[in-house]
Amino acid sequence: MLHALTCMLLSFKNDRRGVTALEYGLIASLVGIALLVGAGNLGTALNSTFTSIAGKI
């Protein structure tokens, strides 16, 4: 019984699939945040450009 538990804990410790999935999740969330920030900045820049153009017309 103790041997089976030890083997199970060692195999769980050496299993890297969960770590890889977590890393991909972190990368995806960082990419999503970067896209949101970039889109927000682009929207602000476009808004000020169109407001400037509208004021000159």
pLDDT at 15 over 90: no
Three-state SS sequence of 1-57? CHHHHHHHHHHHHHCCHHHHHHHHHHHHHHHHHHHHHHHHHHHHHHHHHHHHHHHHC
Instruction: Quickly state the pLDDT bin for 45 (edges 50, 70, 90).
Output: very high
Would you state the pLDDT for residue 18?
67
What is the rounded CA–CA span in Å between residue 27 and residue 18?
A: 14
pLDDT at 33 over 90: yes
Query: What value does the mean pLDDT take over residues 38-44?
Result: 92
- CB-facing half-sphere around the CA of 27: CA atoms within 13 A: 6
Distances (CA, A) of 46 to 38, 39, 43: 12, 10, 5
> Domain-by-domain residue ranges, the chain?
19-57
